[in-house]
Amino acid sequence: MGSDERPRWNHNIHLHRVVLAAIPSGARSALDVGSGDGMLAAELRDVISEVVAIDLDGDVLRRAAVEHSGIVWVRDDVMT
């Protein structure tokens, strides 16, 4: 990141640490619903062996899959 660029921030990113702190000891899998660009899924993958990320936007999931490996990316509606 260049000196003139600020780190990404939004409310979801701000709450990643809350989600990560709530992971139960011994957790082996996680589901990231509405994963978008996969930032939380990638952080989850750093501490949990099996991460599935679901989102409706196929384009954003394709970009996330290129950037973050070791995650199962699903294009679908979690409600169905």
Q: What pairing do the DSSP bridges indicate for beta strands 72-75 and 50-55?
A: parallel
> What pTM value is reported for the model?
0.83
**Alpha-carbon distance 38 to 43, whole Å?**
9
**What's the number of CA atoms in the CB half-sphere (13 Å) around residue 64?**
27
What tokens does 34 get? 């509405």
Q: What is the pLDDT of residues 3-41, one digit of tens each?
A: 567 777 667 788 889 999 999 999 999 999 999 999 999
**Alpha-carbon distance 11 to 14, whole Å?**
5
Residue in this structure with the two tokens 């957790």, named with its chain if needed = 27
